Amino acid sequence: GYNGSCRNSLHFVSETEIAYPIACLVVILDVFSNKQRFFEGHTNDVQCLAWNERHQLCISGQMDEKGTAGPKACIWSPARPSSFCNLPHPRDARSVSAAAISPDGHVAMTFTTDDARSFYLWRGPFGRAAAKEATLTHIFSGSSGRQSTLGVFMFEAACSSSTLTFTTVGVGHFKHWVINFPQNSP
């Protein structure tokens, strides 16, 4: 059944469909016909799921694969769940606890449960990368502090090509962030 411990992980992805994680799958359920489709790009339990309505993309994060690589996040479209973009994380990251795609669809952010509570930024556009089943490399990473991040929220008015503003929530914290990207010199 539905994993209720994955916070903010039940999303309407169309007028009739919802998406939610179960083990290493994300179920896409048509609530009227009761028919299910699946996103099967994960290799371990899905820990988080976010939805970008404007670009019709989901981002989901998983636990690490024991003894092999680190955890990963996947960006995919519910319209084509068989194609996706991989966002691999370092082996010591343990799991991806929260993820989001910016409103403009050009930046993805993931948070992990390693000792540093690291975060990673990825640059898109992700729709094309998902269609090509690409594997991307993060453009920036840092430490978010001592507490685990359970949700990240990006808002339309707060994001631009040079600034990323977002809010995170977790056990014992509510943080507002501003990251300024360096401008290319002419």
Q: Is the pLDDT of residue 186 over 60?
A: no
77-112 pLDDT, tens digit per residue, is 999 988 898 999 998 899 999 999 988 888 899 999
Q: How many CB atoms lie within 10 A of CB 105?
A: 17
Looking at residue 102, its amino acid is: S
Q: What secondary structure letter does DSSP report for 144?
A: -
What is the average pLDDT across 150-177? Answer: 81
106-161 pLDDT, tens digit per residue, is 889 999 999 999 999 998 778 776 667 778 888 888 888 778 898 999 876 555 66
13-27 pLDDT, tens digit per residue, is 999 999 999 999 999
